[in-house]
Structure 1
Amino acid sequence: MKSLLAALLMTATPALALDLGAMSDSEKEAFGAAVREYLMENPEVMIEAMNALEQRRMAEETKNDAAMIAQLQDEIYNDGNSYVGGNPDGDITVVEFIDYRCGVCRQVFPHVEEVVANDENVRVIFKDYPILGEESELASRFAIAVKQAEGNEAYKKVHDHFYTMRGNVSEDSLRATAEEMGFDADAIMTAMNSDAVNEVLAANAQLAQQLQISGTPSFIIGDTLLRGMPQTGIVPVIEQARQAQEG
């Protein structure tokens, strides 16, 4: 098999072999033909090159994500508005951007619950990020209004309800939910459109934009941003974040 190097040596002077600008038209043509021949005979080289390019892109993206997370620490972890669960003093915080009408979020819900239940050193923060239409926004507004009026535990009760409920989200169904859970339904329904709720949603949307998050679920664990749920779940990422802290 004729190697690319051999072809280059045959068609160009050694000093200018890789300087395309210094090649004559005939040398460029011969060079292109040699490269094409080599790639046709060794197609795996293209796959290797594409994989290397993708790895380089992912490494750069990871580096950029870590820098953004470092710059937005307060907005991510200490906004004073988001639900905080698990161990408030845990060594690792899992931040999840959620949309209650997101099918993948519903699938991920039991996994996140299991992680928090099984790991006593995990703190979890939920960021309401309704992006899938009117029902998504109604659900998030209701959940935020409940948290502001009734606190963390009430929010979690609503959070779990939305991920397991059947049927559509409407003002009537939300009022019924408020009454069933023992909340002041009139107050909650009014608060859903308050400035306080608007500010939380606007802040979450701005944070998502800054982090280049366009879908749910998305997670922040340590200095890693996950746009979606890995096939292996979030436990390996949590362990990796712990090792990074210890190292």
Structure 2
Amino acid sequence: MTDKLLRSPLALAGAMLVSALLGAGAFALLLSWMPGLAGPAIRGYLLEHPEILPEAMERLQARESARYEKAQQGAQAVVPQHLAQLQKPYAGAWAGNPNGDVTVVAFMDYACGYCRASLPGIEELLAKDPNVRVVYRELPVLGPESMVAARLALAAAEQGKFRAFHDALYAAGSPNAENIAAAAEKAGLDKALATKASQSKPVEQEIAANHKLGEQLAMTGTPSWVVGGKLLYGARDYAGLAAAVAEARAGK
């Protein structure tokens, strides 16, 4: 196997790239499996044939892109099965027209810069389209502070103050303890009630359900969206959201 790999420049480069992506530990494991891949031999070959690296990287990227696209297509196919759950907000975690003809579901994380960048587009959509509803789903994926913020946001939703807390925390910056406390104060939360609610089983179940939905819908990060019944990934401005809403209306 080792001799075959050494005779195949593309395979060798692919092994090197995969090892680089996985880290030193994976590379050490690779060498233990194929001891003939000595460091000097690899280095010498790559120095003589550096042109194979871009080609190998392009193939790796193409393969990963195809895999991701296939996952997204599969996820889109299962959206109808979860649409009712997706469009049902947790307590007061929604905005706009409660009877709107199109629902925009936004999966967000308070530590996500792309989520923050999407907020003006959501606000403009709500201001310009009186027949749209936005449902916010907490998807904390960027660390423990994101989880604390998500839990308190749902507690705020139970007090009817989700938007006040949501807007205040995004405006404050990163979801550290100081900013979370300041947002809770600005939103006028009952602190004792919110603290208790943030650790409650319903809040825990809601976040677990959102993570499960994220996995089923191939969400690799935030923000992610379901507009009408269509999946979207990544930051969106007003034009992008309005176009998705128009498409959803046209499909009714």
TM-score scaled by length of structure 2: 0.66
1:224 alignment counterpart:
230
Q: Deviations over 1:79-105 (max 9, x none)?
A: 654612111111111000010110010
User: Which structure has the larger Rg?
Assistant: 1
Residues of 1 paired with 2:214 and 2:80: CA distance? 14
1:205 aligns with 2:215: no
Where do residues 1-247 of structure 1 align in structure 2 (5 Å cutoff)? Answer: 64-78=74-88, 80-81=90-91, 83-148=93-158, 150-151=159-160, 154-166=161-173, 168-170=175-177, 173-229=179-235, 232-245=239-252
**SS class of match (1:89):** coil
Return the offset for 1:221. Answer: 0.9
Return the offset for 1:180. Answer: 4.1
Residues of 1 paired with 2:222 and 2:156: CA distance? 22
Residues of 2 paired with 1:61 and 1:82: CA distance? 32
2:104 and 2:226 in contact (8 A); partners too: yes
Residues of 2 paired with 1:71 and 1:78: CA distance? 13
Going from structure 1 to structure 2, the CA distance change for 1:62 and 1:182 (only over 3 Å counts) comes to closer
**SS class of match (2:117):** helix
Q: Extract unaligned runs of 5+ from structure 1.
A: 1-50
Residues of 1 paired with 2:156 and 2:107: CA distance? 18
Going from structure 1 to structure 2, the CA distance change for 1:168 and 1:200 (only over 3 Å counts) comes to closer
Return the offset for 1:162. Answer: 1.4
Return the offset for 1:76. Answer: 0.7
Going from structure 1 to structure 2, the CA distance change for 1:82 and 1:157 (only over 3 Å counts) comes to closer
| Worse-superposed segment, 77-86 or 97-106 | 77-86
Percent of pairs identical after alignment? 34
Q: Deviations over 1:32-74 (max 9, x none)?
A: xxxxxxxxxxxxxxxxxxx9xx89x96x667534421111122
2:156 and 2:194 in contact (8 A); partners too: yes
**SS class of match (1:67):** helix
CA-based RMSD: 2.5
1:75 and 1:207 in contact (8 A); partners too: no
